[in-house]
Amino acid sequence: MTGVQCGDEAAYKDLFTEYYPRLTTFAFKYVGEMDTAKEIVQEVFIKLYQKRRTLVIQQSLKAYLFKAVYRTCLNSIDQEKRRSHHHQEAAIYQPEAEYADGLEEAEAQQRIYQAIEQLPDQCRRIFTMNRFEDLSNQAIADQLNLSKRTVETQISKALKLLRKALFLLIVGFLTGN
């Protein structure tokens, strides 16, 4: 690991070559999709490289990598469950009028993601960490060196701005604009 910590790209490449196939197979057993498994393993290696100078591994590197892939798989599964749950709730609670004039769910989702992208940078980052990465307010505060109250304020601000954007979106759909 010391070669990787020093930025030795050959050492990092060797590490990747050695563990990538096994970690991908391991991830596949949890997520059931090879593309998702590959993305998860790549994400773990990217984080390893990004944090290489400050990372302290208290176990074997192999154990660390497998544990990191396992946790990332669980996060991925949780995110997928949450997305599925939100889609089911949206289908139950949204009146048919919202989809007037051939509006499809995919277009609505795209506009929601566009609304999220329009949030101020820090507000968007905190909101996505909370809603899509399922991090607690305290974990976000620790990671970004902010107070927990600042994180809570930013999430409230994001929700307020998104409600306003989505309200305008719904009004636009209902009026045909």
Question: What average pLDDT does the structure give for the chain?
Answer: 81
pLDDT mean over 68-77: 89
Helices (H), the chain: 2-5, 9-31, 34-50, 61-93, 105-117, 121-131, 137-144, 148-175
Each residue's pLDDT tens digit, 164-176: 888 877 776 666 6
pLDDT mean over 48-63: 82
SS3 call for 46? helix
**pLDDT tier, 97 (very low <50, low <70, confident <90, very high otherwise):** very low
CATH code: domain 2-77 is: 1.10.1740.10
Is residue 44 packed enough to be buried (19+ CB in 10 Å), middle (13-18) or exposed (0-12)?
A: buried
- Is the pTM here over 0.85, yes or no? no
Residues in contact with 81: Cβ distance below 8 Å, sequence separation at least 6, in sequence order: none
In this structure, is the dihedral angle defined by the CA atoms of residues 90, 93, 95 and 98, taken in order, positive or negative? negative
Cα gap 139→24, rounded to integer Å = 27
Q: What's the pLDDT score for residue 57?
A: 77
Q: What's the pLDDT score for residue 99?
A: 45
At 59, the amino acid letter reads: Q
Cα gap 110→119, rounded to integer Å = 15
CATH code: domain 94-175 is: 1.10.10.10
Cα gap 106→95, rounded to integer Å = 16
Q: What angle do CA 78, 107, 39 make, to 5 degrees?
A: 35
Each residue's pLDDT tens digit, 118-127: 889 999 999 8
Cα gap 109→92, rounded to integer Å = 16
The ranges assigned to domains in the chain are 2-77, 94-175
pLDDT mean over 52-62: 80
**pLDDT tier, 110 (very low <50, low <70, confident <90, very high otherwise):** confident
